[in-house]
Amino acid sequence: MISAPAKKITEAPGIWQRLWGRGVPRIAMVVLAIVTLAAIVGPELMPARAREVSGDQYSPPALAHPFGTDLEGRDLLYRVLEGARISLLVGISGAFISFFVGTAYGLVAGYSGGRLDSGMMRAVEILYSIPRLIIILVFINAFDKYVKTWMANAGLGGMVGDSRVVILILCLGLIEWLTMARIVRGQVLTLKAQQYVAAAQALGQSHFKILTRHLLPNLLGIIVVYLTLTVPAVILDESFLSFLGLGIQAPQASWGSLLADGASVINPIKSNWWLLVFPAFAMCATLLSLNFLGDAIREAMDPKARR
Amino acid sequence: MITFILRRVVSLLFVLFCVITITFFLVKMAPGGPFDRERKIPPQIEKELLAKYKLDGPWMQQYTGYLWDVVHGDLRLSTKYRNRSVNELLAQTLPVSGTLGGIAFLIATAGGIWVGSFAAVRHHKPADTMAMLGALLAISIPTFVIGPLLILIFALRLRWLPVGGWSGISYLILPSITLAAPYLAYIARLMRTSMLEVLGMDFVRTARAKGLAESRTVYKHALKVAILPVVSFLGPLAANLLTGSVVVESIFNVPGAGAFFVNSVLNNDGFLLGGVVIVYCALLVVMNLIVDLLYMCLDRRIQLYD
């Protein structure tokens, strides 16, 4: 008797397999890993002389300076790596602040419903009606001093030079949460109507437990998607502030401030192209990867898009 | 219908009121005053200045006074551009920003809708991939990089268009393209997603099954439904573009209102800032109302009022 070969039971591939198994998201993840690694260890590996101001201004890319040098003769590769640190730090921390605030806000609004919900959403609508740039500028202007004194008092005196980074993270995070709050609230409204939530309520579980145990895990997918899409948005916002001279202050550098410097020296006689090309390449590769990854995660989780 | 519009107008006024209030007190909280300069001004003169610009007295009194003036259409004097009223400054610069923004608005919507549908029809083909890669690039590269690059190519190298300034139609081309680029890309992505979803719907299959030409199926039947998410983005888009962009206007040296957004904050010029915010907010809320009405015309299933 011939035994039928055991039917191979294949589990539906998880999110991770679905992402890694496809070309574009895999490239995106590799690029992001390289950029992160370069940002963390890159500046430490560079020789000490690369960090210093030197005499050869605007020298084009060569063996000694693979990315060329800038106005002050600093090595551009080192500057780009340093910029990666700050840009990623601002982008990721800003996105996390927006995640905490937006998720908490959206959860409470959506779950409580009724008047509280409509009031909270009205507040979001009002904040949406003020130009983003103005909110950010007013925040920076109004709270720069407070953050500096707070940092000095909190025993972070040595880091007062970094206060601009801190305030940028706070401001950008506190602007970007609006979209997150809207999305989370919308999801909560649909989840709330599910029977398992009614069951949990009937069993007498506390609101806090229902929120954290039952609703939050089901929201994680959409939150991860918007987290990946918020990081590039914050990095881009920071670059605009740097262009306006309000972002990262010299001698610190972010990709945005490097690009702003590069864009300001473009002229037909001497193009100094490397000042624009290398920071732009680093920033675009990162932003593209993050956007592609976000899209891919969304597609991987969308039952309609599965093939 | 009338009650719906009336209700929306009331809520518009409420939003405007809140925004004015928030802006007013945020400006008051900021350190430094509008007359802080390197050189210290004598206290007597400062007092007179504050009185002239109605910045004396307790905050609440200043606030109610300001509200009263705004209700009467007086946005007061700018503290930075001495002796010029905010009304006058905005009347001079908003038409410039509006022209530029209006053209950018048309480019972004028309181009975005076209690119998005074009890509959706060729789903997973090279043309689709290229279009979406281009769109992501346009979103990822800041406009202050796109602008100088366009200047370098079309103005300095090819000498087809002027570098910057504001004195004719040819001066509009580069700035409006720069301004439109990221929004065009955003709309294209929105349009593609929505079009893909609609193309999988039953009525599209029916249209195809009854032998309708593909172009007619897509651009007549599917587009009408797929365009809805784009329509709802048009409100914020219009408010953003028509009030001017600091970055684009400074790159191309356009005398628009964009610079006020930044300068009014940096100079602690509260009334100019208030004026800019009021214009932006009013535009946004009015545009959103128009978009909602447009929505109803496009999709008869939606009833905004009972």
CB atoms inside a 10 Å sphere around CB B215: 9
Distance CA B114, CA B82 (A): 47
Q: At what angle do helices B258-266 and B86-121 cross, to 10 degrees?
A: 130
How many C-beta neighbours within 10 Å does residue B89 have? 22
Contacts of B53 (CB under 8 A, 6+ apart): B34, B76, B77, B79, B271
Q: Which amino acid is at B113?
A: I
Q: How confident is the model at residue B37, as a pLDDT?
A: 61
Q: Does the structure show a pLDDT above 90 at B105?
A: yes
Q: Is A125 among the domain residues?
A: yes
For every residue of B126-137, which 3-state class applies, written as one string? Answer: HHHHHHHHHHHH
Range of the domain at A35: 21-305
The amino acid sitting at B141 is I
Are A141 and B266 an interchain contact pair (Cβ–Cβ within 8 Å)?
A: yes
CA distance A106 to A95: 16
The span from the CA of B302 to the CA of B22, in Å, is 34
Enumerate the H helices of B122-245 as residue ranges.
126-140, 143-150, 170-199, 202-209, 214-216, 223-226, 228-242
Nearest CA in chain B to A243: B144
CA atoms within 13 A on the CB side of B90: 23
Phi-psi region of A72 (alpha: psi -120 to 50; beta: other; left: phi over 0): alpha
Q: How far is CA A167 from CA A164, A253, A260, B148, in A?
A: 5, 15, 20, 29
Flag whether A10 is in a domain: no
How confident is the model at residue A307, as a pLDDT? 41
Gap between the Cα atoms of B73 and B294, Å rounded: 29
Return the closest-CA partner of residue A164 out of A238, A84, A263.
A238
Nearest to A138 among B26, B149, B281 (CB): B26
Which backbone phi and psi does A75 adopt, to 5 degrees? -70, 125
Span A237-242, mean pLDDT? 84
Distances (CA, A) of B196 to B99, B120, B201, B203, B227: 34, 6, 9, 13, 11
- pLDDT on residue A205: 81
Residue A236 has pLDDT above 90, yes or no: no
First and final CA of chain B: distance in angstroms? 9
Give the best-scoring range by mean pLDDT among A144-148, B13-17, B70-74. Answer: B13-17
pTM score: 0.81
Residue with tokens 């050869």: A56
Nearest chain A alpha carbon to B146: A263
**Residues 76 to 95 of B: which have CB under 8 A from any A CB?**
none
CA dihedral A188, A190, A191, A192 (to 10 degrees): 80
The Cα of B200 is separated from the nearest Cα of chain A by a number of Å equal to 10
**Alpha-carbon dihedral sign for residues A221, A223, A225, A231:** negative
Q: A294-297, long-range: CB within 8 Å, 24+ apart, which pairs?
A: A294/A225, A294/A226, A294/A228, A294/A229, A296/A19, A296/A22, A296/A24, A296/A25, A296/A28, A297/A15, A297/A19, A297/A25, A297/A221, A297/A224, A297/A225, A297/A228
Higher pLDDT: A46 or B259? It is B259
Assess if residue A16 is contained within a domain. Answer: no
Asked, for residue A64, whether it belongs to a domain, the answer is yes
**How does pLDDT run across B130-160, given as a tens digit for each residue?**
888 888 888 888 888 888 888 878 877 777 7
Domain assignment present for A4: no
Which of A1-5, A151-155, A266-270, B170-174 is the least confident region? A1-5
* Residue A205 included in any domain: yes
* pLDDT tens-digit series, residues B186-239: 899 888 888 888 888 888 888 888 888 877 788 878 888 888 888 888 888 888
Q: Which residue of B has its CA nearest to A292?
A: B136
Residue A13 covered by a domain = no
Q: Which residue of A has its CA nearest to B244?
A: A131
pLDDT band at A51 (very low <50, low <70, confident <90, very high): low
Structural domain count, chain A: 1
Of chain A, the end-to-end C-alpha distance in Å amounts to 38
Would A12 be classed as within a structural domain? no
Q: Is the pLDDT of residue A105 over 80?
A: yes
CA dihedral A30→A80→A140→A153, nearest 10 degrees, is 90
CATH number at residue A114: 1.10.3720.10
Using the Cβ of B27 and the Cβ atoms of chain A, whether some distance falls under 8 Å is answered with yes
Q: Do B163 and B175 contact (CB within 8 A), yes or no?
A: no
Q: Read off the tokens for B108.
A: 């972004």
Strand, helix or coil for residue A51? helix
Crossing angle of the two packed helices B270-298 and B86-121, in degrees rounded to 10: 40
Give the integer Cα–Cα distance in Å for A32 and A26: 10
Residue A251: the pLDDT is: 74
Residue A95 corresponds to which amino acid?
A
Tell me: the pLDDT tens digits for B31-42? 666 666 656 677
Choose among A129, A263, A283: nearest Cβ to B144: A263
Which residues of chain B neighbour A254 with C-beta distances below 8 Å? Answer: none
Determine the residue of chain A that is closest to B13 in CA distance. A126
B142: which chain A residues are within 8 Å (Cβ-Cβ)? 236, 239-240, 243, 256, 259
**Taking the alpha carbons of B222, B226, B227, B228 in that order, is the dihedral positive or negative?**
positive
Pick from A119, A290, A138: nearest CA to B273:
A138
Split at pLDDT 50, 70, 90, the class of B109 is very high
pLDDT at A52: 66
Kindly tell me if the per-residue pLDDT of A207 is higher than 50. Answer: yes
| Complex ipTM > 0.85 | no
Token representation of residue B176: 């409006």
Give mean pLDDT, residues A205-233: 81
For residue B26, the chain A residues in CB contact (below 8 A) are: 138-139, 142
| Any B CB within 8 A of A260 CB | yes
DSSP class of residue B87 equals H
Sorted by sequence, the CB contacts under 8 Å of residue A126 that are 6+ apart come out as B15, B18, B19, B22
Q: Is A126 touching B (CB cutoff 8 A)?
A: yes
| Among the partner residues A133, A263, A268, nearest to B261 by beta-carbon distance | A133
Distance CA B57, CA B66 (A): 12
